Structure 1
């Protein structure tokens, strides 16, 4: 087992824990990001507003990726709905059940 494999094996549980926490507390983390951004913007008197806004958006996107959220509003802590709504068949290639081959 190589060094990288060993490192991945040791960090796997930590990554899962971080993802769980990001998903459970996404709203609180989003609020903290917004609060910090507002404070920094006030302290810099709006001089770097565009950069602060860009950084805030990137941080929220990273939070969403870490929490494995594929749908819903960023930071709302909601889990994405399963594919399809149960009333229409899934689109081909969307991960839905594969029909049996034609005979």
Structure 2
């Protein structure tokens, strides 16, 4: 099994786990934020809230992530070659 296949399999497993346990992970993010606010006596409440927001955004991104092969090509560009303005590595 090639490294690329192993990584794809691990990514699919992680995405599945995040999708399955999304609510528990979200509760964990909330709990961690509450504990951090308590430990710091609210001094860093804004930074903790911002970090929690970014963690939830990352969680949602992982949850909604699909393999590249399952994504429709909606931009109308050819995805086989390099991006415009970049050298072709082939």
| TM-score, length of structure 1 as denominator length | 0.58
Note if 1:68 corresponds to 2:64: yes
Q: Unpaired segments of 5 or more residues in structure 1?
A: 1-5, 70-92, 94-103
SS of 2:28's partner is helix
Number of aligned residue pairs: give it. 65
Q: CA RMSD in A?
A: 1.5
Pairwise mapping of residues 54-65 of structure 1 onto structure 2 (< 5 A)? 54-65=50-61
SS of 1:67's partner is helix
How far off its partner does 1:19 sit? 0.6
Pairwise mapping of residues 1-103 of structure 1 onto structure 2 (< 5 A)? 7-68=3-64
Which has the higher Rg, Structure 1 or Structure 2? Answer: 1
Higher helix content, 1 or 2:
2
